[in-house]
Amino acid sequence: MFTDRLFEKTSTIWEKYLEHPFVKEIGKGSLDLDKFQFFMEQDYLYLIDYCKVFALGSAKASRLEVMTIFSDLLHSTLNEEMELHRQYAEKLGMTRTQLENSTPSSTLSAYTSYMLQKSYQGSEADVAASVLACTWSYNFIGLNLAQTEGATEHPFYGDWINMYASDEFSQLASQMKQLMNELAEEKPEREKAELEAIFVHCSKLEYLFWDMAYDKQMWPQEISS
């Protein structure tokens, strides 16, 4: 299957997610709150753009079934995943307005501009390739962290792990993989190679996103005014 090829191509990068200090410390429950807060702020902005990518998928869909998949994902991101962020923001003493008006970091801009550009310019298959690494890798990480002793019961980070390890999210990830396989099936190798390139690039940007969050990286101080 096409997604097996994608997984093989990125397995080294994906293994590195599990070794990343941000991910490991969520699992141990020892991650500094200020790093998590920074991540949540950036991730909220990420999800706003991500919803637009899903909307583009719906607009470009050639069948109602595909249109429904993208619009269901748009709905669950806006109402479930982003709700998790809103609840964490409340626990961290932030208002919704603050959350929505955070300053986008350079890594965030690099990631969402790339996905949006590929999705505006490309086909429904390019949209699927742009969102797959994100949906699938969070489920991969969530399921892995859920195996760490006590991680899902952690009073603060437990909800985060439980969301991404949940059956519902596992189903979303499988649905996206299935869609990618269907859309790639009939494509010539030249187009498959392009879909693979998008998936690899997004997988690398996922790693950069963990790095950005752990180091709370913004634009360099001297040019950030």
Ligand X SMILES: Cc1ncc(C[n+]2csc(CCO)c2C)c(N)n1
Annotated catalytic residues are: 134, 206
145 touches ligand X by CB under 6 A: no
Q: Which residues does 154 contact at the CB level (< 8 Å), separation at least 6?
A: 29, 161
Cβ(123)–Cβ(65) below 8 Å: no
Using the rule CB under 6 A, which residue among 134, 151, 165, 183 binds ligand X? Answer: 134
The kind and range of the H/E element at 158 are: helix 158-165
Closest CA to 179 of 108, 110, 127: 127
Q: How far is the CB of 172 from ligand X (least distance, A)?
A: 5
180 touches ligand X by CB under 6 A: no
Number of residues that bind ligand X (CB under 6 A): 14
43 touches ligand X by CB under 6 A: yes
Q: How far is the CB of 138 from ligand X (least distance, A)?
A: 4
Q: What is the DSSP letter of 186?
A: T
Q: Which residue's CB is nearer to ligand X, number 114 or number 191?
A: 114
Q: How far is the CB of 156 from ligand X (least distance, A)?
A: 17
Q: Which residue's CB is nearer to ligand X, number 60 or number 85?
A: 85
Phi, psi at 20, each rounded to 5°? -70, 135
81 touches ligand X by CB under 6 A: yes
Cβ(151)–Cβ(161) below 8 Å: yes
- From the list 62-70, 99-107, 130-138, 179-187, the region that binds ligand X by CB under 6 A is 130-138
Closest CA to 126 of 143, 109, 114, 108: 114
Burial of 62 (0-12, 13-18, 19+ CB in 10 A): exposed
53 touches ligand X by CB under 6 A: no
214 touches ligand X by CB under 6 A: no
Binding site for ligand X (CB under 6 A): 43, 46-47, 50, 73, 76-77, 81, 134-135, 138, 172, 206, 209
